[in-house]
Structure 1
Amino acid sequence: MGYGDNDISLVSFQSVSKGYYGECGKRGGYMEVTGFSPEIRDQIYKVASVNLCSNVSGQILASLVMNPPKVGDESYECYSAEKDGILSSLARRARALEDALNSLEGVTCNRAEGAMYLFPRIRLPLKAIKAAEAAKTAPDAFYCRRLLNAAGIVVVPGSGFGQVPGTWHFRCTILPQEDKIPAVVSRLTDFHKGFLDEFHD
C-alpha cells in the first residue's frame, strides 16, 4: 500500500503466546506498520530496535508463525492436524463455559469470537454491592475475590477494562485443559448459587 492522503495508518501485532502456535510463556511476536510515511516508519523501527530482542526460541516461533508448513511440505499433515485439534478444543471449551455462564442466574455471556477470553456480565444483588462498598472495593472485584477464595478460580474484574458505569463483568479464560472444564463449571456454579443466597435482596 502506498502512502497518500486516503491511506489508513495501521499497526498490527501478532504474538506467538496468544495463539495456537505457542504455549503461554513462549515469548515472541512481530508487528506490521502500514500507511505511515517513510520518516515515521523509520522512527517507529528505531524505537522498536532499542528494546532487547526475543530469546532464540521466541524468534524461531515468530518465524514459524509467519511461514507455517504448506501443502506438500513433509510436516504439513502433522501441523494441520495439531492446529485443527487445538482450535476445535478451544471452541468446545469456549462453548462449554459460555453455556455454563449463561445458565447462571443474573449472568449473560456473549460468544467468544477469536479470543481466549470470555467477558460475562453479572447482575449483582444490592446487598453484594453494599458489602463491596463497605470493603472499599469495586463490586466486580469483590465477586472475583470471593470466587477465588471459595472455589480457587481466578478471574479478572471487568472494572479494569472500561465497562459501562453501573455494570459489572469479569474476564475469564477458556484455556484450562478440556478435561478440567466440567470441574471448573461445577465449582463456579456452586459458588455463584451460594453467593446469591448469601446476598439475596
Structure 2
Amino acid sequence: MILLTGFEPFGGESFNPSWAAAQQAAASLTASGLPARALQLPVEFGTSADVLRRALATDPFDLVIAVGQAGGYGTLMLERVAINVDDALFPDNAGHSPVDEPVVAGAPAAYFSTLPIKACLQALQDAEIPARVSQSAGTYVCNHIFYALMNALADMPGVRGGFLHVPYSPEQVTDGKHPSMDVAQVARGLELMVRTSLATEKDLKLGAGTTH
C-alpha cells in the first residue's frame, strides 16, 4: 500500500495543488494495480503530524510520500533533509506560530529522505518534468510533516518515505509573476516517483548539489 499526503489550502488560498496531485496520483496508481491512498493534512503544527501518525497505524504501507506547495518555484523539488525545528514565518491555519521549537522533543536534529531521490530526479528529467533536489524544506508545516514522517518511519523498518514540494497551479497565478505547473503534470511526476521508488533498491550517484 502507498500513502500520498497533500495539504489543505492555506495563506488565504482556496486551492492547494499538493492535495489535488496526491488525489490524482493515488487514483491512477490504484487503477493500474498499485493500491494507493490519498490523505489530506491540515496546515497546522502538531495536528498535521497527529493525523499522519494515525494514518500510518491503519495500514501496512510500503511507501509514503508527503507533498506540499512551494509557491514561487517552477519545478518539482525533491527534499533531501528534514530538520527538527518549527520556526513559523506566519501563523498556520489554527493561528499557531511556533518559534524555534522542536518538531519532536529529544529526537535527532535531522533525518534524510529514504526515497531514492537521485533516481527519481533522473526519471523526472527523462520524462521532461522540471525537477531538482532541494536541500531544505523550510521551517513551516511542510518541514514539520516531513520530519514527523521520517521520525515515525524510523520505527517502521522497510517503509520508505520522503517529501515533495510542488509549484503553484496555473489557476493560482493571476498576476503572471510566479511560475506554475499543471496539476496533471505534478500528479504524473508524483506517480513516476512512486514507481521509481518501488523499483529502485540502491539510489543513483548523480550530481545534484548546490553551492548554498
- TM-score calculated relative to the size of structure 1: 0.31
- TM-score calculated relative to the size of structure 2: 0.30
Q: Report which of the two has the higher share of helix.
A: 1
- Report 1 or 2 for greater relative contact order, CA contacts < 8 Å, sequence distance ≥ 6: 2
Larger Rg: 1
